[in-house]
Amino acid sequence: MSERYSRQILFSGIGEQGQHKLAAKHVLLIGAGALGSANAELLVRAGIGKLTIVDRDYVEESNLQRQQLYTEKDVEQKMPKAAAAKKHLEEINSDTEVHVHIMDATSQSLEPLLQNADLLMDATDNFETRLVINDLAHKYNIPWIFGACVGSFGISFTVIPGKTPCLNCLLRAIPLQGMTCETAGIIGPAVQMTVAYQSAEALKILTENREVLRETFVSFDLWSGQFHNIKTGKSKKADCLTCGSDPSYPFLQLENTTKTAVLCGRETVQVRPPYAVELELERLVRDFSAMGYEVKANPYLVSAQNENERIVVFKDGRALVHGTKDVIHAKSVYQKIMG
């Protein structure tokens, strides 16, 4: 092994044998934003053999505060995050094979990329995609590492199919959904701490040291100094449709994905949630206001407008994104708002 990895090889948990194992492993990373760019850099610097990145977005100025791979030049050129990540990662370590896909992460787009993947890394910004990752991981028996952060708060959990509860189980036991970076902001240290938990678990899996994997759900708030390490063994459900005794992988089915439709004769995309909801419109008013939108509301809907777009959200979760016919953009806007 080269001098490049000498300090990592000196670490007893990895050693020379572990370094050789890293060089033979393939990670599929979904998302190239704050968590994605930091995890990608750590894995590439560690010497993994192959990294595949999926992301649909491009680099904006507001990303630079916390998304460590990107530069002002990437913003000026409106570079897709995946393409910019590939360029910078190859400059960091030319030995790692980096593949990128600039596309929406859906069950149909992700499934062909799973061949020979040793680990799935979650760096997404919405729970719909995470539940798709969760189903795919269990269908193909691939471990995956969940991570999310907002404000000064972060959470992470390592999912091992056949052993741990899955994300679907956890959602029934632990309240995970709520604020987004668009509504509550985020500080860089919350990203870095979440990535530290994710990437440490990744190194354990990729060097085949599963006996030291953390078996708890970890959450922290760096601003208030709170930290929780939650045991999850009792969260695993025998009737879970993802990891139970008779799995059907519900989030891989088309009827359980967010529905989009371009309205005829209008520059408007309708977005419907994948399951029935009843929204708190007052919370939506607060969230939109915090994001700088001009907001109007009545008992049935909330209308929010800024200089770029107008969005109308109904109590049943349905939304109209005006000013576009791009369904991927409309879906992205919807997921940022809804969390």
Residue 175: pLDDT above 70? no
Rounded to whole angstroms, the Cα distance separating 161 from 148 reads 20
pLDDT tens-digit map of 120-168: 999 998 788 899 999 999 999 999 999 999 999 999 999 999 999 999 9
3-class state of residue 93 by DSSP: coil
Rounded to whole angstroms, the Cα distance separating 152 from 44 reads 26
Q: How many other C-beta atoms can be found within 10 angstroms of the C-beta atom of residue 115?
A: 9
pLDDT tens-digit map of 213-230: 999 999 999 999 999 999
pTM, entire model: 0.81
Residue 47 DSSP label:
T
CA 167 to centroid of chain Cα atoms: 13
Rounded to whole angstroms, the Cα distance separating 3 from 17 reads 15
CA 245 to centroid of chain Cα atoms: 27
- Report CA-CA distances (Å) from 194 to 35, 144, 169: 8, 15, 21
Beta carbons of 57 and 81 less than 8 angstroms apart: yes
Residue 85: φ, ψ to 5°:
-60, -45
Residue with tokens 């471990």: 143
pLDDT tens-digit map of 49-96: 999 999 978 888 989 999 999 999 999 888 989 999 999 999 999 999
pLDDT tens-digit map of 269-307: 888 887 767 888 888 899 889 888 999 888 877 889 988
Residue 173: pLDDT above 60? yes
Residue 259: pLDDT above 80? no
Domains in the chain: ranges and CATH: 3-252 (3.40.50.720), 258-338 (3.30.310)
